[in-house]
Amino acid sequence: MLKTFLAFGLCMACIGGTSAAEPEREPFDDRYCTTCHGTDGRGNEGVQAPRLAGMEPWYLRRQLENFRADIRGVHAEDREGIAMRPMATKLTDESIDDILGWISSWDYIPAEATIKGGDPLRGRGLYSACAVCHGADATGNESLGAPALVGQNDWYLVTQLKNFLAGYRGAHPNDTYGAQMRTMVSTLRNEAGILNVVSYINTLSR
């Protein structure tokens, strides 16, 4: 296991330029994503931080900008979003560029399926509404602004769908794509619908 892991890992970019207020002071940079998002951005259920490796750079940029602009992660019930927002608040455009470059050096390794209790057969029917934007194979569609779902941590998908359904995410007036998601997600109706559709996504080839 570790051998392949090491071989892939070595292509990781060098830690970028550091900034410091005074020359003798401890330097730091903004590459702190892996503390929460885990080894090479593969997600960490322990802190409910999703997989970043393999995430589309345009989607990641939009989300970082939304967090930075207080469009995402502001609703009091969006616990994970609230945890994320301050991490993005102080990022400069340059830092975001640097982070996106760094993240693109990580290999896409699909996340494990973890959720239980969903019915993929029922989820399949529900997924037809999602497929319009995210594609039948859930690999996403940049021109529609829809990210890939396949390979993402299923617990993260469940949380986000719940948040859209409850209006914890996507309710901000400037969150155009979020508003679309809120309309679409209403077809899932409830938690059972969410579990069904995510367990169907888990069956798609990764």
Task: Say how far apart CA 118 and CA 25 lie, in whole Å.
Answer: 52
Provide the minimum distance between the beta carbon of 45 and other proteins in the complex, in angstroms, as a whole number. 6
Residue 60 CA to chain centroid, in angstroms? 7
Taking every pair of Cα atoms in the chain, the longest distance, rounded to a whole number of angstroms, is: 61
Provide the minimum distance between the beta carbon of 10 and other proteins in the complex, in angstroms, as a whole number. 5
Task: Say how far apart CA 183 and CA 177 lie, in whole Å.
Answer: 10
Residues 6 or more apart from 61 whose CB is under 8 A from it? 96, 100
Binding mask 49-68 for other proteins (x = CB under 8 A): x-------------------
In the complex with other proteins, the residue whose CB is nearer, 12 or 144, is 12
Residues 6 or more apart from 104 whose CB is under 8 A from it? 57
Provide the minimum distance between the beta carbon of 136 and other proteins in the complex, in angstroms, as a whole number. 31
Q: Is 43 in the site for other proteins (CB under 8 A)?
A: yes
Q: Is 47 in the site for other proteins (CB under 8 A)?
A: yes
- 3-state SS string over 142-157? HHHCECCCCCCCHHHH
Q: Is 4 in the site for other proteins (CB under 8 A)?
A: no
Give me the amino acid identity at 188. Answer: L
Among 17, 23, 36, 59, binds other proteins (CB under 8 A): 36
Q: Is 15 in the site for other proteins (CB under 8 A)?
A: yes
**Which range of residues in 17-25, 56-64, 164-172, 186-194 is near other proteins by CB under 8 A?**
17-25
Residue 195 CA to chain centroid, in angstroms? 18
Provide the minimum distance between the beta carbon of 129 and other proteins in the complex, in angstroms, as a whole number. 32
- 3-state SS string over 80-114? HHHHHHHHHHCCCHHHHHHHHHHHCCCCCCCCCCC
Provide the minimum distance between the beta carbon of 105 and other proteins in the complex, in angstroms, as a whole number. 10
Residues that bind other proteins (CB under 8 A): 1-2, 5-6, 9-10, 12-15, 21-22, 24-26, 28, 32, 34-40, 42-47, 49, 82-83, 86-90
